[in-house]
Amino acid sequence: MKNGRLKLILLLILALQGASLYAQDYSGQIKTVTLDAGHGGHDPGAIGAKSKEKDIVLDVVLRTGALIKQHYPDVKVIYTRDKDVFVKLYDRANIANINKTDLFISVHCNAAKHKAVYGAETFVMGLEKTESNLEVAKKENASILLEANYTENYNGFDPNNDEDYIAMTMFQSASFDQSLKLADKVQKQLIGPECKRYDRGVRQGPFLVLHKVAMPSILVELGFISNVAEENYLRSEAGKKACANALFNAFKEYKTEKEASLSSAVQTAEIEKVEPPIFYVQIAASANKMNIKSFKNVDSIEEKYVNGNYVYLTGKSTTLTQAKNKLPTIKNKGYKDAFVVAFIGNRRISAREAEALQ
Ligand SMILES: [Zn+2]
C-alpha cells in the first residue's frame, strides 16, 4: 500500500499544479473560444453501427465555429483539431491555455452497453461523485491510453483506477461558477425545440481535459451513438446542424450575459448602496465537509457552502489588492492552486465584479 500512497501524493501534486500556471483575470469579455472535437485519428471514440464519435463531433464543432465567426467576426475561434488527427488530451488543454482562451468547449458523443439509453448531458469539472458520472469521465479519459508516454505526461495517472480520481476532485477550479453557467445554457439548448434531446442534465465529473484548462470549460455529450434512433439523428444533416446551432446559441447567450453583467454590477452599486464585498483566498473545496484543522500553516479558516460544495477560505480582506497581496504567501505554504474570491454575504461573485463594486 506504500506504493499506492506515494502515487496518491504524486497525483495530489498534479492536482495542485492543475491549471494554476495559466490562471488569469478575466475582463469579462469573451474574445477567444477554443472548440475541442473529441478523439480523432487512431482514437475513434465511441463507435456506433454506422458512425464514429470522432467524425460526428468534428463536423458539429466546425459548424459551430463557422457560426461564431459569421456572427462575431471579432471573436477568435481556435480548434484543437480541424481534421481527422489524434491530439493528446494534454495538448488540447495547452492549446486553450497558451492562447489565453476565454471559454473551452469539448464536444463528444456517448455510447452505452444498453442500446436503449439515449439523451444529452453536459459536464463541468467537479466534485460530485456518482457512479455514472465517473463512468463517463473514465471512458473519455481513457483516450490517454492511446498516447505515447502517457505515464510521464500524467504523472502515472491511471484512468481506470477509482483511487486516482480522489486527488483530482479535491480542488475546485476558479472558473467553476462560470463553467456551470455555460453548461446550463448548452443543456437548455440541447433539450430545446430545435435539438429535442432527452435531458440527462448538467453534471459534474473528473475529466482530465477540463482539469487542465484554466478558463470556464465544459464537456458536452451530444447523445448516444449506441442508440439506433439517436445515432441516425446525430449523423444526419439536420441533427448535426441542430447540435451546432444549440452550441452557438448557448455561446451567444453566455457572451451577452457575461459582458452585460460587469456594467450592470457597477450601475447597481451606483443606484443603491449594496453591502460591500469581502475578499478571501480560497484554498480548497469539497463535496463533503472537511476538518478545518486539517489545513496546515494557515489560520482563520472560514467555511462557506457554494453551489453544492463546501469551500475553505483564508486571508479575509476588505480590498482586492489586500487579498491579492496575501496570495503568494498562501501559495508558498503549499496551497499552489489557491485563488482570490469575493463574497457578498454568502453569495460568491467574481473578483472583477467585486472590484467594480468597491
Ligand atoms: Zn468522447
Coil/strand/helix, residue 15: helix
Ligand 1 centre from 53 Cα, in Å? 7
Query: CA 173, 178, 179, 183: dihedral to nearest 10 degrees?
Result: 160
CATH code of the domain in which 6 resides: 3.40.630.40
pLDDT grade for 48, boundaries at 50, 70 and 90: very high
CATH code of the domain in which 335 resides: 3.30.70
Mark which of 222, 237, 259 sits at the end of a domain: 259
Mark which of 195, 226, 259 sits at the end of a domain: 259
Residues 66 and 208 in one domain: yes
- Round the average pLDDT of the chain to a whole number and report it: 86
Ligand 1 centre from 177 Cα, in Å? 24
Ligand 1 centre from 221 Cα, in Å? 8
Per-residue model confidence (pLDDT) at position 24: 42
Ligand 1 centre from 167 Cα, in Å? 23
Residues 41 and 179 in one domain: yes
Residues 309 and 249 in one domain: no
Q: Is the pLDDT of residue 204 over 60?
A: yes
Q: Is residue 118 part of a domain?
A: yes
Residues 70 and 173 in one domain: yes
Coil/strand/helix, residue 37: strand
Q: Is residue 268 part of a domain?
A: no
Residues 255 and 293 in one domain: no
Q: Is the pLDDT of residue 8 over 80?
A: no
Average pLDDT over residues 96-103: 94
Q: Is residue 163 part of a domain?
A: yes
Q: For residue range 135-190, what is the model confidence (pLDDT) as tens digits?
A: 898 999 999 988 888 888 887 888 888 888 876 766 667 788 899 999 999 999 99
Q: Is residue 264 part of a domain?
A: no
CA count, 13 A, side-chain hemisphere, 109? 34
Ligand 1 centre from 54 Cα, in Å? 8
Residues 42 and 97 in one domain: yes
pLDDT grade for 263, boundaries at 50, 70 and 90: low
Per-residue model confidence (pLDDT) at position 288: 82
Count H helices, E strands: the chain?
A: 12, 11
Instruction: State how many domains the chain has.
Output: 2
Query: β-strand 199-205 against 103-110: which pairing, if any?
Result: unpaired
Q: Is residue 283 part of a domain?
A: yes
Ligand 1 centre from 55 Cα, in Å? 11
Q: Is the pLDDT of residue 244 over 90?
A: yes
Residues 172 and 304 in one domain: no
Ligand 1 centre from 330 Cα, in Å? 37
Q: Which domain holds residue 196?
A: 2-259
Residues 190 and 310 in one domain: no
Per-residue model confidence (pLDDT) at position 165: 80
Per-residue model confidence (pLDDT) at position 270: 56
Residues 192 and 306 in one domain: no
CA angle 48, 52, 57 (to 5 degrees): 120
**CA-to-CA distance for 241 and 63, rounded, in angstroms?**
7
Mark which of 232, 259, 286 sits at the end of a domain: 259
Q: Is residue 266 part of a domain?
A: no
Q: Is the pLDDT of residue 88 over 90?
A: yes
Cα dihedral sign, 122-125-130-134: positive
Q: Do residues 197 and 191 touch, judged by C-beta distance below 8 A?
A: yes
Ligand 1 centre from 44 Cα, in Å? 9
Residues 229 and 302 in one domain: no
pLDDT grade for 94, boundaries at 50, 70 and 90: very high
Q: Is residue 277 part of a domain?
A: yes
Q: Is residue 192 part of a domain?
A: yes
Ligand 1 centre from 9 Cα, in Å? 28
Average pLDDT over residues 307-323: 88
Q: Is the pLDDT of residue 17 over 50?
A: no
Q: Do residues 280 and 317 touch, judged by C-beta distance below 8 A?
A: yes
pLDDT above 70: percentage of residues in the chain? 85
Per-residue model confidence (pLDDT) at position 175: 84
Residues 297 and 249 in one domain: no
Residues 342 and 248 in one domain: no
Ligand 1 centre from 32 Cα, in Å? 23
Structure-model confidence comparison of residues 315 and 127, the more confident one = 315
Ligand 1 centre from 113 Cα, in Å? 15
Ligand 1 centre from 109 Cα, in Å? 6
Neighbour count for residue 155 (Cβ, 10 Å): 16
Residue 339 vs residues 16, 176, 227, 265, 357: alpha-carbon distances, Å: 12, 12, 43, 22, 19
